[in-house]
């Protein structure tokens, strides 16, 4: 999915939506400091920084966007793939 160890991803949600969804899930273990979240993957971690919020315009409809910057440098490729799959599942609309 994402081969680079450090990358950015634009998601279709606001910071408030991100925080609400993060707090309502129970699979990703994390700590938060300012605009950075540290997710635990075994004895390793992934740092995710919340970057710019924006708006994507589709005709007369405006949808929020949020850029996240991931640092997965502590993970091997298998761990990174598993983390990203779980992370994406938790932040898809309707994800459990």
pLDDT per position as a tens digit, 45-76: 999 999 989 998 889 999 999 999 999 999 99
Look at residue 3 in the predicted model and tell me its pLDDT.
80
State pLDDT tens for residues 12-48: 899 999 999 999 998 999 999 888 999 999 999 999 9
The secondary structure element, H or E, covering residue 34 is none
Choose the CATH number for 6-91 among 3.30.1370, 1.10.260, 3.40.50, 3.10.20. Answer: 3.30.1370
Rounded to two decimals, the pTM is 0.87
56 within 8 A of 5, measured Cβ to Cβ: no
Q: How far is CA 34 from the centre of its chain?
A: 15
Distance CA 39, CA 37 (A): 6
Task: Parse the chain into domains and list their residue ranges.
Answer: 6-91
């Amino acid at each position: 999915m994402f081969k680079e160890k450090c990358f950015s991803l634009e998601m279709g949600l606001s910071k408030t939506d991100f925080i609400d969804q993060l707090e309502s899930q129970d699979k990703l273990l994390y700590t938060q400091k300012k605009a950075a979240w540290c997710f635990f993957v075994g004895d390793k971690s992934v740092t995710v920084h919340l970057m710019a919020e924006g708006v994507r315009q589709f005709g007369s409809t405006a949808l929020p966007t949020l850029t996240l910057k991931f640092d997965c440098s502590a993970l091997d490729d298998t761990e990174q793939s598993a983390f990203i799959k779980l992370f994406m599942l938790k932040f898809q609309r309707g994800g459990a």
